[in-house]
Structure 1
Amino acid sequence: MAKKTKNFSRRDFLKTSGVATGALIGGSLLGGLIGYNANNSKTSPTETKSGEHKQEAALNKGRMFFTNDREFQILANATERIFPKDDLGPGAIDLGVPYFIDNQLAGQYGSNSKEYMQGPFASGAPTQGYQSNLTRAEIFKQAVAKLESEAQTRFKNGFSKIEAEQMDEILTAFQKDEVPMKGVSSAFFFRLLRAATLEGAYADPIYNGNNNMDGWRMKGFPGHQAAYINVIESDEFQKIEPKSIGSMH
Protein backbone atom coordinates (compact mmCIF):
# COMPACT_ATOMS: atom_id res chain seq x y z
CA MET A 1 0.00 0.00 0.00
CA ALA A 2 1.40 3.37 -1.02
CA LYS A 3 2.34 5.69 1.80
CA LYS A 4 0.24 8.87 2.00
CA THR A 5 2.16 12.09 1.55
CA LYS A 6 0.99 15.07 3.55
CA ASN A 7 1.10 18.50 1.92
CA PHE A 8 2.09 21.26 4.33
CA SER A 9 0.96 24.85 4.02
CA ARG A 10 2.97 27.71 5.48
CA ARG A 11 0.31 27.96 8.21
CA ASP A 12 1.07 24.34 9.23
CA PHE A 13 4.78 25.14 9.24
CA LEU A 14 4.37 28.24 11.38
CA LYS A 15 2.23 26.36 13.89
CA THR A 16 4.62 23.44 14.29
CA SER A 17 7.87 25.43 14.24
CA GLY A 18 6.92 28.17 16.69
CA VAL A 19 7.38 30.98 14.19
CA ALA A 20 3.77 32.06 14.71
CA THR A 21 4.65 32.98 18.28
CA GLY A 22 7.79 34.87 17.32
CA ALA A 23 10.39 32.11 17.63
CA LEU A 24 13.57 32.40 15.60
CA ILE A 25 13.54 30.55 12.29
CA GLY A 26 16.31 27.97 12.29
CA GLY A 27 18.82 27.73 9.46
CA SER A 28 17.38 24.52 7.99
CA LEU A 29 13.71 24.88 8.87
CA LEU A 30 12.44 27.06 6.07
CA GLY A 31 14.21 24.97 3.50
CA GLY A 32 11.77 22.22 4.43
CA LEU A 33 9.04 24.25 2.81
CA ILE A 34 10.61 23.73 -0.60
CA GLY A 35 8.56 21.05 -2.30
CA TYR A 36 5.81 20.91 0.34
CA ASN A 37 4.00 24.05 -0.81
CA ALA A 38 4.03 23.35 -4.54
CA ASN A 39 1.02 21.05 -4.56
CA ASN A 40 -1.06 23.53 -2.57
CA SER A 41 -0.37 26.42 -4.93
CA LYS A 42 -3.08 27.08 -7.52
CA THR A 43 -1.48 30.19 -8.94
CA SER A 44 1.58 31.17 -10.92
CA PRO A 45 4.55 32.39 -8.79
CA THR A 46 4.30 35.81 -10.42
CA GLU A 47 0.59 36.40 -9.73
CA THR A 48 -0.25 39.01 -7.11
CA LYS A 49 -3.34 39.84 -5.08
CA SER A 50 -4.31 43.10 -3.40
CA GLY A 51 -4.08 43.15 0.39
CA GLU A 52 -6.95 43.97 2.68
CA HIS A 53 -5.18 46.97 4.22
CA LYS A 54 -4.46 50.33 2.66
CA GLN A 55 -1.02 50.26 1.06
CA GLU A 56 1.65 52.53 2.50
CA ALA A 57 3.61 54.37 -0.20
CA ALA A 58 7.24 53.30 -0.48
CA LEU A 59 9.80 56.05 -0.07
CA ASN A 60 12.19 54.96 -2.82
CA LYS A 61 10.67 51.95 -4.56
CA GLY A 62 12.73 50.90 -7.53
CA ARG A 63 15.42 48.57 -8.80
CA MET A 64 19.00 49.55 -8.10
CA PHE A 65 21.00 46.38 -8.83
CA PHE A 66 19.10 44.01 -11.14
CA THR A 67 18.17 46.53 -13.81
CA ASN A 68 17.62 43.70 -16.31
CA ASP A 69 13.95 42.63 -16.24
CA ARG A 70 14.69 38.94 -16.79
CA GLU A 71 17.22 38.78 -13.95
CA PHE A 72 14.88 40.59 -11.57
CA GLN A 73 12.01 38.21 -12.40
CA ILE A 74 14.24 35.20 -11.73
CA LEU A 75 15.12 36.62 -8.31
CA ALA A 76 11.45 37.43 -7.63
CA ASN A 77 10.22 33.95 -8.49
CA ALA A 78 12.96 32.30 -6.45
CA THR A 79 11.99 34.29 -3.35
CA GLU A 80 8.31 33.48 -3.89
CA ARG A 81 9.05 29.74 -3.85
CA ILE A 82 10.88 30.17 -0.54
CA PHE A 83 8.16 32.39 0.97
CA PRO A 84 4.96 31.63 -1.01
CA LYS A 85 1.61 33.26 -0.51
CA ASP A 86 -1.09 31.04 0.97
CA ASP A 87 -4.07 31.19 3.30
CA LEU A 88 -1.89 32.85 5.96
CA GLY A 89 -1.08 35.90 3.86
CA PRO A 90 1.02 37.35 1.02
CA GLY A 91 4.21 35.84 -0.29
CA ALA A 92 7.58 37.35 -1.07
CA ILE A 93 6.51 39.11 -4.26
CA ASP A 94 3.48 40.82 -2.71
CA LEU A 95 5.62 41.77 0.30
CA GLY A 96 8.18 43.49 -1.95
CA VAL A 97 11.01 41.13 -0.96
CA PRO A 98 12.65 41.20 -4.43
CA TYR A 99 12.96 45.00 -4.20
CA PHE A 100 14.38 44.72 -0.68
CA ILE A 101 17.08 42.27 -1.81
CA ASP A 102 17.83 44.25 -4.97
CA ASN A 103 18.29 47.47 -2.99
CA GLN A 104 20.47 45.75 -0.38
CA LEU A 105 22.71 44.29 -3.09
CA ALA A 106 23.27 47.81 -4.43
CA GLY A 107 24.55 48.94 -1.03
CA GLN A 108 26.99 47.86 1.67
CA TYR A 109 25.35 44.44 2.05
CA GLY A 110 26.12 43.67 -1.59
CA SER A 111 29.65 45.08 -1.58
CA ASN A 112 30.64 43.58 1.81
CA SER A 113 32.21 46.98 2.48
CA LYS A 114 32.13 46.59 6.26
CA GLU A 115 33.57 43.07 6.33
CA TYR A 116 37.08 41.62 6.13
CA MET A 117 37.51 40.39 2.55
CA GLN A 118 41.23 39.58 2.33
CA GLY A 119 42.74 36.12 1.85
CA PRO A 120 43.45 33.35 2.39
CA PHE A 121 40.17 31.99 1.06
CA ALA A 122 39.69 28.41 2.19
CA SER A 123 36.55 26.34 2.49
CA GLY A 124 35.69 26.73 6.14
CA ALA A 125 33.28 24.95 8.45
CA PRO A 126 29.67 26.20 8.55
CA THR A 127 30.42 27.83 11.91
CA GLN A 128 33.15 29.99 10.37
CA GLY A 129 30.76 32.17 8.39
CA TYR A 130 31.62 34.07 5.21
CA GLN A 131 34.70 32.56 3.49
CA SER A 132 34.30 33.48 -0.19
CA ASN A 133 36.41 36.03 -2.03
CA LEU A 134 33.25 37.09 -3.89
CA THR A 135 30.95 39.82 -2.64
CA ARG A 136 27.26 39.08 -2.10
CA ALA A 137 26.47 41.12 -5.20
CA GLU A 138 28.78 38.90 -7.26
CA ILE A 139 27.32 35.75 -5.71
CA PHE A 140 23.72 36.76 -6.43
CA LYS A 141 24.60 37.80 -9.99
CA GLN A 142 26.25 34.45 -10.67
CA ALA A 143 23.48 32.50 -8.96
CA VAL A 144 20.69 34.17 -10.92
CA ALA A 145 22.47 33.18 -14.13
CA LYS A 146 22.83 29.63 -12.75
CA LEU A 147 19.12 29.44 -11.92
CA GLU A 148 18.38 30.35 -15.53
CA SER A 149 20.88 27.89 -17.01
CA GLU A 150 19.62 25.07 -14.78
CA ALA A 151 16.06 25.74 -15.97
CA GLN A 152 17.19 25.69 -19.59
CA THR A 153 19.19 22.49 -19.11
CA ARG A 154 16.53 20.60 -17.16
CA PHE A 155 13.30 21.92 -18.66
CA LYS A 156 14.27 23.71 -21.89
CA ASN A 157 12.69 26.95 -20.69
CA GLY A 158 13.51 30.08 -18.69
CA PHE A 159 13.34 29.93 -14.89
CA SER A 160 10.44 32.40 -14.75
CA LYS A 161 8.45 30.33 -17.26
CA ILE A 162 8.68 26.88 -15.69
CA GLU A 163 6.19 25.33 -13.26
CA ALA A 164 6.39 25.97 -9.51
CA GLU A 165 7.36 22.34 -8.85
CA GLN A 166 10.21 22.66 -11.34
CA MET A 167 11.46 25.80 -9.62
CA ASP A 168 11.41 23.87 -6.35
CA GLU A 169 13.48 21.10 -7.92
CA ILE A 170 16.17 23.57 -8.97
CA LEU A 171 16.19 25.43 -5.65
CA THR A 172 16.43 22.10 -3.81
CA ALA A 173 19.46 21.21 -5.95
CA PHE A 174 21.05 24.50 -4.85
CA GLN A 175 20.22 23.74 -1.22
CA LYS A 176 21.82 20.29 -1.50
CA ASP A 177 24.96 21.80 -3.10
CA GLU A 178 24.40 19.95 -6.37
CA VAL A 179 24.89 22.98 -8.66
CA PRO A 180 28.52 23.93 -9.41
CA MET A 181 29.38 27.58 -8.83
CA LYS A 182 32.68 29.48 -8.92
CA GLY A 183 34.13 30.89 -5.70
CA VAL A 184 31.19 29.77 -3.58
CA SER A 185 28.98 26.73 -3.10
CA SER A 186 25.38 26.68 -4.29
CA ALA A 187 24.35 25.68 -0.76
CA PHE A 188 25.93 28.86 0.57
CA PHE A 189 24.00 30.92 -1.96
CA PHE A 190 20.77 29.19 -0.98
CA ARG A 191 21.37 30.13 2.65
CA LEU A 192 22.02 33.74 1.60
CA LEU A 193 18.85 33.81 -0.48
CA ARG A 194 16.72 32.27 2.26
CA ALA A 195 18.05 34.66 4.90
CA ALA A 196 17.61 37.70 2.65
CA THR A 197 14.05 36.61 1.80
CA LEU A 198 13.11 36.40 5.48
CA GLU A 199 14.78 39.74 6.20
CA GLY A 200 12.81 41.35 3.37
CA ALA A 201 9.55 39.86 4.62
CA TYR A 202 10.01 41.17 8.17
CA ALA A 203 12.16 44.32 7.82
CA ASP A 204 10.70 47.76 8.34
CA PRO A 205 8.91 48.84 5.13
CA ILE A 206 11.28 51.80 4.87
CA TYR A 207 13.71 49.31 3.29
CA ASN A 208 11.18 48.41 0.55
CA GLY A 209 10.19 45.00 1.89
CA ASN A 210 7.35 43.96 4.23
CA ASN A 211 4.83 45.91 2.13
CA ASN A 212 2.09 47.52 4.19
CA MET A 213 3.62 45.79 7.25
CA ASP A 214 1.78 42.59 6.23
CA GLY A 215 4.77 40.48 7.25
CA TRP A 216 4.39 41.84 10.77
CA ARG A 217 0.62 41.37 10.67
CA MET A 218 1.06 37.67 9.91
CA LYS A 219 3.12 37.31 13.09
CA GLY A 220 1.11 39.74 15.21
CA PHE A 221 4.17 41.96 15.63
CA PRO A 222 3.29 45.58 16.51
CA GLY A 223 6.31 47.20 14.89
CA HIS A 224 7.54 50.52 16.29
CA GLN A 225 5.11 51.64 18.97
CA ALA A 226 5.85 54.78 20.93
CA ALA A 227 4.67 53.20 24.18
CA TYR A 228 2.44 50.47 25.65
CA ILE A 229 1.51 52.34 28.82
CA ASN A 230 -2.19 52.31 27.97
CA VAL A 231 -2.39 48.50 27.72
CA ILE A 232 0.55 47.16 29.72
CA GLU A 233 -1.51 46.39 32.82
CA SER A 234 -4.32 44.66 30.94
CA ASP A 235 -4.71 40.90 31.43
CA GLU A 236 -6.31 40.52 28.02
CA PHE A 237 -4.40 39.77 24.82
CA GLN A 238 -3.79 42.98 22.92
CA LYS A 239 -4.05 43.05 19.14
CA ILE A 240 -2.17 46.20 18.14
CA GLU A 241 -2.09 47.68 14.66
CA PRO A 242 1.59 47.81 13.67
CA LYS A 243 3.50 51.01 12.97
CA SER A 244 6.55 51.42 10.76
CA ILE A 245 9.23 54.09 10.96
CA GLY A 246 7.63 55.80 8.00
CA SER A 247 4.18 55.80 9.57
CA MET A 248 5.27 57.47 12.81
CA HIS A 249 4.47 61.17 12.92
Structure 2
Amino acid sequence: MANDKPNKPQDESRRRFLKYSGTALGGVVLGGVIGGLVGSNLNNNAEEKTPAPEGKQPAADNKDYNQALMFFNQDQFLTAEAAAERLFPADDLGPGAKELGVAFFMDHQMDSQYGYNARDYMLPPYYKSEETQGYQLIFKRRELIALGLDAMNQYSNTKYKKPFVEIAPEEQDAVLTAFEKNDIGIKDVPASNFFAMFLNLTLEGAYSDPLYGGNRNMAGWKMRNFPGNQMSYTEYIDKEEFVKLEPLSLHDHLELG
Protein backbone atom coordinates (compact mmCIF):
# COMPACT_ATOMS: atom_id res chain seq x y z
CA MET A 1 0.00 0.00 0.00
CA ALA A 2 1.29 3.47 -0.89
CA ASN A 3 2.49 5.71 1.91
CA ASP A 4 0.56 9.03 2.29
CA LYS A 5 3.27 10.81 4.32
CA PRO A 6 5.35 12.08 1.35
CA ASN A 7 2.31 14.04 0.04
CA LYS A 8 1.84 16.11 3.20
CA PRO A 9 4.55 18.71 2.56
CA GLN A 10 3.12 19.29 -0.92
CA ASP A 11 -0.42 19.68 0.47
CA GLU A 12 0.75 22.09 3.15
CA SER A 13 2.68 24.11 0.58
CA ARG A 14 -0.45 24.40 -1.54
CA ARG A 15 -2.50 25.51 1.45
CA ARG A 16 0.04 28.21 2.25
CA PHE A 17 -0.03 29.38 -1.37
CA LEU A 18 -3.82 29.72 -1.34
CA LYS A 19 -3.73 31.43 2.01
CA TYR A 20 -1.13 34.07 1.25
CA SER A 21 -1.30 34.52 -2.51
CA GLY A 22 -5.04 34.36 -3.16
CA THR A 23 -8.15 32.27 -2.82
CA ALA A 24 -9.98 30.46 -5.60
CA LEU A 25 -13.63 31.54 -5.49
CA GLY A 26 -15.98 30.28 -8.16
CA GLY A 27 -13.10 29.54 -10.48
CA VAL A 28 -11.62 33.06 -10.13
CA VAL A 29 -8.34 33.56 -8.30
CA LEU A 30 -8.11 36.71 -6.21
CA GLY A 31 -4.47 37.65 -5.92
CA GLY A 32 -2.43 40.32 -4.20
CA VAL A 33 -3.55 42.11 -1.07
CA ILE A 34 -7.26 41.39 -1.53
CA GLY A 35 -6.71 37.70 -2.17
CA GLY A 36 -4.41 37.41 0.84
CA LEU A 37 -6.91 39.07 3.11
CA VAL A 38 -9.74 36.88 1.88
CA GLY A 39 -7.68 33.72 2.23
CA SER A 40 -6.42 34.51 5.71
CA ASN A 41 -9.91 35.28 6.97
CA LEU A 42 -11.88 32.40 5.47
CA ASN A 43 -11.90 30.44 8.71
CA ASN A 44 -12.97 33.21 11.07
CA ASN A 45 -15.37 35.30 8.97
CA ALA A 46 -18.39 33.96 10.77
CA GLU A 47 -17.04 34.90 14.22
CA GLU A 48 -15.99 38.40 13.16
CA LYS A 49 -19.29 39.45 11.56
CA THR A 50 -21.44 41.53 13.86
CA PRO A 51 -25.15 41.60 13.07
CA ALA A 52 -26.61 45.07 12.51
CA PRO A 53 -28.67 46.36 15.46
CA GLU A 54 -32.43 46.30 15.09
CA GLY A 55 -33.72 49.34 13.28
CA LYS A 56 -30.32 49.89 11.62
CA GLN A 57 -30.39 47.22 8.93
CA PRO A 58 -28.40 47.95 5.72
CA ALA A 59 -30.33 50.06 3.23
CA ALA A 60 -32.05 48.12 0.45
CA ASP A 61 -30.50 48.27 -2.99
CA ASN A 62 -32.67 50.79 -4.84
CA LYS A 63 -30.76 50.68 -8.12
CA ASP A 64 -32.95 50.49 -11.21
CA TYR A 65 -31.22 47.91 -13.37
CA ASN A 66 -33.61 48.69 -16.23
CA GLN A 67 -31.79 52.00 -16.69
CA ALA A 68 -28.98 50.66 -18.86
CA LEU A 69 -27.99 51.42 -22.45
CA MET A 70 -28.64 48.73 -25.03
CA PHE A 71 -28.29 50.61 -28.35
CA PHE A 72 -27.26 54.27 -28.07
CA ASN A 73 -23.67 55.31 -27.63
CA GLN A 74 -23.04 57.84 -24.87
CA ASP A 75 -23.27 60.91 -27.13
CA GLN A 76 -26.50 59.74 -28.73
CA PHE A 77 -28.03 59.02 -25.34
CA LEU A 78 -27.14 62.43 -23.92
CA THR A 79 -28.43 64.16 -27.07
CA ALA A 80 -31.70 62.21 -26.92
CA GLU A 81 -32.06 63.03 -23.23
CA ALA A 82 -31.51 66.77 -23.78
CA ALA A 83 -33.77 66.96 -26.85
CA ALA A 84 -36.58 65.03 -25.16
CA GLU A 85 -36.39 67.38 -22.17
CA ARG A 86 -36.99 70.36 -24.48
CA LEU A 87 -40.06 68.62 -25.94
CA PHE A 88 -41.36 67.43 -22.56
CA PRO A 89 -39.86 69.81 -19.97
CA ALA A 90 -40.26 69.66 -16.21
CA ASP A 91 -42.68 72.19 -14.76
CA ASP A 92 -44.84 72.76 -11.70
CA LEU A 93 -47.10 69.87 -12.76
CA GLY A 94 -44.39 67.24 -12.63
CA PRO A 95 -41.05 65.90 -13.94
CA GLY A 96 -39.77 66.22 -17.47
CA ALA A 97 -38.48 63.66 -19.94
CA LYS A 98 -35.05 63.41 -18.35
CA GLU A 99 -36.34 62.57 -14.87
CA LEU A 100 -38.90 60.17 -16.37
CA GLY A 101 -36.13 58.20 -18.10
CA VAL A 102 -37.51 58.79 -21.60
CA ALA A 103 -34.10 58.42 -23.27
CA PHE A 104 -33.74 54.94 -21.73
CA PHE A 105 -37.16 54.03 -23.15
CA MET A 106 -36.03 55.14 -26.62
CA ASP A 107 -32.79 53.20 -26.31
CA HIS A 108 -34.61 50.01 -25.33
CA GLN A 109 -37.15 50.41 -28.13
CA MET A 110 -34.39 50.79 -30.70
CA ASP A 111 -32.89 47.49 -29.53
CA SER A 112 -36.25 45.72 -29.73
CA GLN A 113 -38.19 44.26 -32.65
CA TYR A 114 -39.77 47.69 -33.09
CA GLY A 115 -36.37 49.27 -33.70
CA TYR A 116 -35.45 46.52 -36.17
CA ASN A 117 -38.79 46.85 -38.03
CA ALA A 118 -39.12 43.12 -37.49
CA ARG A 119 -42.78 43.04 -38.52
CA ASP A 120 -42.46 45.37 -41.51
CA TYR A 121 -41.76 44.39 -45.11
CA MET A 122 -38.50 46.22 -45.88
CA LEU A 123 -37.41 44.74 -49.23
CA PRO A 124 -37.57 46.35 -52.70
CA PRO A 125 -39.10 47.39 -55.01
CA TYR A 126 -39.72 50.78 -53.37
CA TYR A 127 -42.50 53.10 -54.49
CA LYS A 128 -43.47 56.61 -53.47
CA SER A 129 -45.86 56.32 -50.55
CA GLU A 130 -48.75 58.40 -49.28
CA GLU A 131 -48.64 60.08 -45.88
CA THR A 132 -51.55 57.92 -44.73
CA GLN A 133 -49.52 54.73 -45.24
CA GLY A 134 -47.37 55.21 -42.15
CA TYR A 135 -43.68 54.40 -41.96
CA GLN A 136 -42.38 53.76 -45.49
CA LEU A 137 -38.64 54.53 -45.29
CA ILE A 138 -35.93 52.08 -46.29
CA PHE A 139 -34.11 52.79 -43.02
CA LYS A 140 -34.90 50.77 -39.96
CA ARG A 141 -36.23 52.90 -37.11
CA ARG A 142 -33.05 52.40 -35.10
CA GLU A 143 -31.00 53.61 -38.08
CA LEU A 144 -33.16 56.70 -38.55
CA ILE A 145 -33.01 57.65 -34.87
CA ALA A 146 -29.23 57.18 -34.75
CA LEU A 147 -28.74 59.18 -37.94
CA GLY A 148 -31.03 61.93 -36.66
CA LEU A 149 -29.28 62.29 -33.31
CA ASP A 150 -25.88 62.39 -35.00
CA ALA A 151 -27.20 64.99 -37.47
CA MET A 152 -28.49 67.13 -34.61
CA ASN A 153 -25.00 67.21 -33.12
CA GLN A 154 -23.42 67.94 -36.48
CA TYR A 155 -25.89 70.78 -37.17
CA SER A 156 -25.34 72.20 -33.68
CA ASN A 157 -21.55 72.05 -34.04
CA THR A 158 -21.74 73.77 -37.42
CA LYS A 159 -24.07 76.57 -36.34
CA TYR A 160 -23.16 77.09 -32.68
CA LYS A 161 -19.66 75.53 -32.48
CA LYS A 162 -20.84 73.26 -29.66
CA PRO A 163 -22.61 69.88 -29.42
CA PHE A 164 -26.35 69.90 -28.81
CA VAL A 165 -26.11 69.18 -25.09
CA GLU A 166 -23.89 72.24 -24.50
CA ILE A 167 -25.86 74.93 -26.31
CA ALA A 168 -28.44 77.17 -24.62
CA PRO A 169 -32.08 75.97 -24.31
CA GLU A 170 -33.34 78.50 -26.88
CA GLU A 171 -30.64 77.31 -29.30
CA GLN A 172 -31.70 73.71 -28.72
CA ASP A 173 -35.26 74.74 -29.57
CA ALA A 174 -34.00 76.35 -32.78
CA VAL A 175 -32.23 73.12 -33.78
CA LEU A 176 -35.36 71.06 -33.11
CA THR A 177 -37.46 73.55 -35.08
CA ALA A 178 -35.09 73.28 -38.05
CA PHE A 179 -35.61 69.51 -38.05
CA GLU A 180 -39.37 69.83 -37.65
CA LYS A 181 -39.59 72.23 -40.62
CA ASN A 182 -37.29 70.19 -42.89
CA ASP A 183 -34.72 72.98 -43.09
CA ILE A 184 -31.99 70.34 -43.29
CA GLY A 185 -31.68 66.83 -44.69
CA ILE A 186 -30.51 63.55 -43.17
CA LYS A 187 -28.93 61.44 -45.92
CA ASP A 188 -31.81 62.09 -48.34
CA VAL A 189 -34.39 61.51 -45.58
CA PRO A 190 -36.67 64.41 -44.62
CA ALA A 191 -35.60 65.66 -41.20
CA SER A 192 -39.27 66.00 -40.29
CA ASN A 193 -39.62 62.20 -40.41
CA PHE A 194 -36.97 61.89 -37.74
CA PHE A 195 -38.52 64.69 -35.68
CA ALA A 196 -42.00 63.17 -35.83
CA MET A 197 -40.71 59.78 -34.69
CA PHE A 198 -38.59 61.33 -31.96
CA LEU A 199 -41.57 63.34 -30.67
CA ASN A 200 -43.75 60.21 -30.61
CA LEU A 201 -41.08 58.27 -28.75
CA THR A 202 -40.79 61.10 -26.22
CA LEU A 203 -44.51 60.98 -25.44
CA GLU A 204 -44.54 57.18 -25.39
CA GLY A 205 -41.59 57.12 -23.02
CA ALA A 206 -43.29 59.57 -20.67
CA TYR A 207 -46.50 57.52 -20.46
CA SER A 208 -45.49 53.91 -21.15
CA ASP A 209 -45.40 51.21 -18.52
CA PRO A 210 -42.19 51.62 -16.48
CA LEU A 211 -41.35 48.04 -17.42
CA TYR A 212 -40.11 49.41 -20.76
CA GLY A 213 -37.62 51.89 -19.30
CA GLY A 214 -39.56 55.18 -19.19
CA ASN A 215 -42.22 56.73 -16.97
CA ARG A 216 -39.92 56.31 -13.97
CA ASN A 217 -41.83 55.67 -10.73
CA MET A 218 -45.04 56.01 -12.79
CA ALA A 219 -44.73 59.79 -12.39
CA GLY A 220 -46.10 60.36 -15.90
CA TRP A 221 -49.27 58.48 -14.99
CA LYS A 222 -49.56 60.25 -11.67
CA MET A 223 -49.53 63.63 -13.42
CA ARG A 224 -52.58 62.49 -15.43
CA ASN A 225 -54.30 60.57 -12.63
CA PHE A 226 -54.02 57.53 -14.90
CA PRO A 227 -54.47 54.25 -13.01
CA GLY A 228 -52.03 52.26 -15.12
CA ASN A 229 -52.53 48.52 -15.42
CA GLN A 230 -55.13 47.66 -12.79
CA MET A 231 -56.31 44.08 -12.42
CA SER A 232 -59.98 45.06 -12.42
CA TYR A 233 -62.35 48.04 -12.23
CA THR A 234 -65.50 46.16 -11.20
CA GLU A 235 -65.79 47.84 -7.81
CA TYR A 236 -65.46 51.34 -9.31
CA ILE A 237 -67.29 51.11 -12.63
CA ASP A 238 -70.72 52.06 -11.24
CA LYS A 239 -69.53 54.95 -9.10
CA GLU A 240 -70.70 58.42 -10.12
CA GLU A 241 -67.69 60.30 -8.75
CA PHE A 242 -64.14 60.13 -10.07
CA VAL A 243 -62.10 57.51 -8.22
CA LYS A 244 -58.38 58.28 -8.00
CA LEU A 245 -56.36 55.05 -7.89
CA GLU A 246 -52.71 54.56 -7.15
CA PRO A 247 -51.28 53.43 -10.51
CA LEU A 248 -49.96 49.91 -10.99
CA SER A 249 -47.33 48.65 -13.39
CA LEU A 250 -47.27 45.29 -15.14
CA HIS A 251 -44.40 44.45 -12.81
CA ASP A 252 -46.68 44.99 -9.79
CA HIS A 253 -48.88 42.12 -10.93
CA LEU A 254 -45.87 39.82 -10.94
CA GLU A 255 -45.24 40.72 -7.30
CA LEU A 256 -48.89 40.48 -6.34
CA GLY A 257 -49.46 37.26 -8.24
TM-score normalized by structure 2?
0.71
In the alignment, which of 97, 102, 110 is matched to residue 102 of structure 2? 97
**1: distance between equivalents of 2:113 and 2:124?**
20
Residue aligning to 2:230:
225
**2: distance between equivalents of 1:229 and 1:132?**
44
In the alignment, which of 79, 84, 92 is matched to residue 89 of structure 2? 84
Q: How does 1:109-124 map to 2 (within 5 A)?
A: 109-124=114-129
**2: distance between equivalents of 1:93 and 1:107?**
21
Q: How does 1:205-220 map to 2 (within 5 A)?
A: 205-220=210-225
In the alignment, which of 176, 179, 183 is matched to residue 178 of structure 1? 183
1:242 counterpart = 2:209 = no
Mean Cα deviation higher: 178-187 or 73-82: 178-187
**1: distance between equivalents of 2:67 and 2:86?**
22
In the alignment, which of 185, 189, 193 is matched to residue 194 of structure 2? 189
Tell me the C-alpha RMSD between the 2 structures: 1.5
CA deviation profile, 1:3-32 (whole Å, cap 9, x unmatched): xxxxxxxxxxxxxxxxxxxxxxxxxxxxxx
TM superposition shift of 1:231? 2.8
Residue aligning to 2:136:
131
- Kindly provide the amino acid, as one letter, of the partner of residue 135 in structure 1: K
TM superposition shift of 1:246? 0.9
Identify unmatched segments of 5+ residues in structure 2.
1-61
- Kindly provide the amino acid, as one letter, of the partner of residue 95 in structure 1: L
Residue aligning to 1:64:
70
3-state DSSP of counterpart to 1:142 = helix
**2: distance between equivalents of 1:129 and 1:237?**
37
CA deviation profile, 1:15-63 (whole Å, cap 9, x unmatched): xxxxxxxxxxxxxxxxxxxxxxxxxxxxxxxxxxxxxxxxx86453210
**1: distance between equivalents of 2:127 and 2:88?**
32
TM superposition shift of 1:195? 0.7
CA deviation profile, 1:207-242 (whole Å, cap 9, x unmatched): 011111111111111011122233333322211111
Residue aligning to 2:51:
none
- Larger RCO (CA within 8 A; separation ≥ 6): 1
**2: distance between equivalents of 1:236 and 1:133?**
50
3-state DSSP of counterpart to 1:246 = helix
3-state DSSP of counterpart to 1:215 = helix
TM superposition shift of 1:128? 2.0
**2: distance between equivalents of 1:119 and 1:82?**
35
Distance 1:159 1:165, change over 3 A: same
TM superposition shift of 1:141? 1.2
The structure richer in strand per residue is 2
TM superposition shift of 1:183? 4.4
TM superposition shift of 1:140? 1.0
Kept in 2: contact 1:122–1:131 (CA 8 A): no
Runs of 4+ in structure 1 over 6 Å off:
none
**2: distance between equivalents of 1:116 and 1:170?**
32
TM superposition shift of 1:169? 0.5
Kept in 2: contact 1:203–1:210 (CA 8 A): yes
Identity score, percent = 42
TM superposition shift of 1:124? 2.4
Matched residues, number: 193
**2: distance between equivalents of 1:85 and 1:139?**
27
3-state DSSP of counterpart to 2:182 = coil
Kept in 2: contact 1:84–1:92 (CA 8 A): yes
